[in-house]
Amino acid sequence: MFERIDEFRWRIPKSYKQGMRVDGIIYADEAMLEDIRSDKAAEQVANVAFLPGIVRYSFGMPDLHWGYGAPIGGVGAFDSETGVLVPGFVGYDINCGIRLVKTNLTEKDVKPRIRDLVYALYNDVPAGVGSKGDIKISASEERKLLVEGSKWVVERGYGNHDDLEYTEEHGAIKGANPDAVSPRAYERGKNQSGTLGSGNHFMEVQVVDEIFDKDAASVFDLAVGQVVLMIHSGSRGLGYQVCDDYTRDMIGCLSKYNISVPDRQLACAPVNSKEAQNYLGAMRCAANYAWANRQCLMHLARGVFEKVFQMSPKDLGMDLIYDVAHNIAKLEKYTIDGKEKTLCVHRKGATRAFPPGHPEIPQKYQKTGQPVIIPGDMGRNSYLLTGTKKAEETFYSTCHGAGRLMSRSAAIRACRGRSISRELEDKGIIVKSSGRETLAEEAPEAYKDVNEVVRIVEGAGISKRVARMRPIGVIKG
């Protein structure tokens, strides 16, 4: 199945399955490839290669693992005129994403108060399945939020306009269509603004423990020993419902548009069709909801830090470094065979990684490239990377995290009889969650080693390391 290209890339030739239109390319070393072999994700990389209009390759990042229809850790670009839009290749948690916030605090400042900080964050930031936030909005206001995203909540006092500058798409992707969102999705989303959610969503207090690129780190205002905050959340019930609505509705598009797929979970429609445009409008609404949600979460966290450390916002210096989406489809321009084309780039469990000089990243980051935020498991560490020019080969995409090794149910079985919170505390990490089962699902051994994942994407040249952070406090949904 796999043909070795070089140390960090492997090919699934299109001859592997009749009907593949392009090869699959997986970024991994030999050890990581063994983990991938034990999962069905590589088959899903091959399945994506069947889709009409796919350009170059079907990609799998080193954090690759099985997902709904398309793999998590998958990237694919489709010609906007001949290709398709695939809800299952965006996923159920639309714009599940991550933001990194710096502080002026050091580990010496925070460590004596870390338990107080973690418990205060847990108390003040709603978390868990079905958690409801303090931000109550009417139906008409919700429609505005879905169009305006982060800007809507900033204008109501949840942060400042500088936050928008350092959010992908300035926190609101254009073309959102509230009319394409179902009543059920509205109902699920109206009380969840400013809520963390469950599963792998988290808020993590971290310490910068190594700098790899001093020049880039100085641009990001980061130094060894400095405390940062990482926030991981998405579009909650609203985004889930949007995906559910459209994956079901698009099954009928397969026969309507004479599209053949090896898995009905890859149900899709031509990019320019009415069905795909409706999904795109709804997906953008969910993406904007997620950016607004993370903006609210950051605002709530800033308030907790100010309260615990009795510091003014200016002295605390909790500035947003960047916010990036992990699950999204976007129309982007690329040069293909000497011609500029608009492609519909699907990133599912993958991070956009624009290079230095790209016009869509903030002026401050023009020399460094786009910040790429890679969370690890709650027992190891996380990374800040930057995008590179070589990442053009993956449509400026890279990994998004460690990637699961175990299913949630397998992780729960493996952790039976153990106290994950005690094990983490023994490592100097204070954790608070809505339940013991959540911690078992998210146990460190349930994930690949993020250090290896990052080593591979840097070795392949599609990302560059800037800093490594280790957790000292974790809040789980």
**What are the residue numbers of the active site?**
400
Helix residue ranges per DSSP H, 18-89: 30-37, 41-48
8 A C-beta contact, residue 396 and residue 355: yes
Task: Measure the CA–CA gap between 460 and 477, rounded to whole angstroms.
Answer: 34
Give the C-alpha separation, 53 to 109, whole Å.
54
> Three-state SS across 333-386?
EEEECCEEEEEEEEEECCEECCCCCCCCCCHHHCCCCCEEEECCCCCCCEEEEE
Nearest CA-CA partner of 428 in 120, 174, 205, 263: 205
Residues making up the chain, counted from first to last: 477
- Token pair recorded at residue 186: 């509205």
Q: How far apart are CA 158 and CA 160, in angstroms?
A: 7
* Chain-centre distance for alpha carbon 57: 21
The maximal CA–CA distance of the chain, rounded, in angstroms, is 64
DSSP 312-339: -HHHHT--EEEEEESEEEEEEEEEETTE
Structure tokens at 394: 């993956």
469 phi/psi in degrees, rounded to 5: -125, 145
Sequence-distant (6+) residues with CB within 8 A of 337 are none
